[in-house]
Amino acid sequence: LAQYSDFVETAYLIIHGELPNAKQRRHFGDLLRLHSPVHSAMDHLFEGFPLGSHPMAILSALLNSLGCYYPHLATNRVQEDLANFEEASAIAISKVRTIAAMSYRKSRGLPYIYPKRTLPYCENFLHMMFSQPYEDYVCTPEVAQALNLFLLLHADHEQNCSTSTVRMVGSSAANMFTSISAGISALSGPLHGGANTAVMGMLQAIHDEGDDGTRFIAAAKSGSKSNRLMGFGHAVYKNFDPRARIIGEACDIVLKRLGIDDPLLHIAKTLEQAALKDDYFVSRKLYPNVDFYSGIIMRALGIPMNMFTTMFAIGRTPGYISNWREVASNPKGRIYRPRQIYVGATKRDYVPMVQRH
Ligand code: SDX
C-alpha cells in the first residue's frame, strides 16, 4: 500500500475490506469532496477557543459536535446509525481534515480557506492550510505523495490505545462521531499519538544544546516514564516498526526532492544508531516506532509541530470508523466492561466526622 496506494484508497480498503474498483473509488472521492466544507455555524465554535488552544482538544470537541449538526447520523440508535454509515463515515474522514486546517488557521489568526471540490484529499488539505485569500498554495506532486504516505501509514493499527477507546465508547451504542472524538482524546497523550511531537521536541533540544544525544539516552535508561526516548519502543512491536522503516526511508527521498537539509534528521539517525547498539534498548527490544521519523516529514511539508498529532488523527480516522462499525454491527455485541482485581480496603464502618483526625 505504501508503494502503490494513496490515503483515500487505503481508507476505502480499511472501511470496506477490499480495494475499490474505479467506480467505487470515484464515488468515494465524490462523497469526500461533497462533505469537505463544515457547517458555517461551526465557525462560532472555533471563536470560543482561546488562542493557543491545542488543535487536538479542538479536534476532539468539534468531531463530537458533528452529531449536533447531523443529528440524523448520530441518533445513538445503532441500526439507524449503521443505515447511514456511508454518509457518516465520509463526513468524518472529510471533515476531520477541514476542522484540522481550520484550527491551524485560527491559531495563526488567519482567515479560513474554503475547500476546493476540484482538489484531491491531500492537496485540498494543504490548500486549506496554506493558501491565502489572494494567492493559492501550489502543491507539488512530491509533497502530496509524502502526505498520502504519512496518512496511509497511520490509517489503522490493531487495538492501540485510541482505537480501543473508540470501541469502548461505541460498545455503549454511542454514535460514530462521539466514539471517534473519544479516540482522538486518547490519541493526544504523549505516550501515544503525542509522541511524534515529543520526538521533535527531543531532537530540537539535542540540536539546541549541541548534544550528540548521549544525555537523552542516559536519561531514557533511568526507566522513568517522563524521560523515555520518545519514538522508541512499542506495546506490541518488539522489533523494528515496519512503518518507521518506510517513513525513515521516505525522509531521505522527500527532503532531497524538496532540497531540505534538516539537521534534526541527522540527529535522529545518530540517536537511532546509538540506541540500537545500547544493551538497555536492545535487551528490552526497543526500536524506532512510527513516530520517530514522522515529525521530520511533516516539518518538511511545513506542518507546524503542534499539528503533528492532529495529522496522526486524520490518518487514523478510517481505522476508528471501521472499528466503530465492527462493534456497532456485532449482533452479539455487549457493552465493554473490563474485569478488575480489587485490591482496596475490605469492609469498614462509617466514622462520624467528630471521630476523624
Ligand atoms: C504509538 O499501540 C499502537 O499500535 C500505537 C501506535 C499506533 O499506530 O496506534 O503504534 C502509535 O503510540 C507508537 C508509540 C509512541 N510512543 C512513544 O514513542 C513514547 C515512548 N515509548 C514508550 O513510552 C513505550 O515504549 C510505549 C508506551 C510505546 C510502550 O510502553 P509499554 O508497552 O508500557 O512498554 P514496556 O513498559 O513494556 O517497556 C518495557 C521496558 C520498561 O523498562 P523495564 O521496566 O523493563 O526496566 O522498556 C522500557 C520500560 O521502562 N521502555 C523504555 C521506552 N519504552 C519502554 N525506556 C526508554 N525509552 C522508551 N521509549
Task: Kindly report, residue by residue over 101-130, the tens digit of the pLDDT.
Answer: 999 999 888 999 999 999 999 999 999 999
Which among 64, 233, 32 is positioned nearest to 151, based on CA atoms? 32
- Report how far residue 237's alpha carbon sits from residue 107's, in angstroms, rounded to the nearest whole number: 36
Phi-psi region of 288 (alpha: psi -120 to 50; beta: other; left: phi over 0): beta
The reply to whether ligand 1 has any atom less than 6 angstroms from the CB of 157 is yes
Q: Looking at residues 5-24, what average pLDDT do you find? A: 98
| Percent of the chain scoring above 90 in pLDDT | 89
**pLDDT-derived band of residue 224, with 50, 70 and 90 as boundaries?**
confident
**pLDDT-derived band of residue 189, with 50, 70 and 90 as boundaries?**
very high
- What pLDDT does 239 receive? 86
The reply to whether ligand 1 has any atom less than 6 angstroms from the CB of 160 is yes
* Per-residue model confidence as pLDDT tens digits over 245-301: 999 999 999 999 999 999 999 999 999 999 899 999 999 999 999 999 999 999 999
Backbone angles phi, psi at 201, to 5 degrees: -60, -40
Ligand 1 geometric centre to CA of 138 (Å)? 39
Task: Indicate whether 57 pLDDT > 80.
Answer: yes
Q: Which residue has the cell 466514539?
A: 179
* Per-residue model confidence as pLDDT tens digits over 136-162: 999 999 999 999 999 999 999 999 999
Is residue 174 within 8 A of residue 327, CB to CB? The reply is no
Ligand 1 geometric centre to CA of 21 (Å)? 39
Choose one of 191, 230, 246 to mutate for the ligand 1 pocket test, by most ligand atoms within 8 angstroms of C-beta.
Answer: 191
Task: Indicate whether 222 pLDDT > 90.
Answer: no
Task: Indicate whether 223 pLDDT > 90.
Answer: no
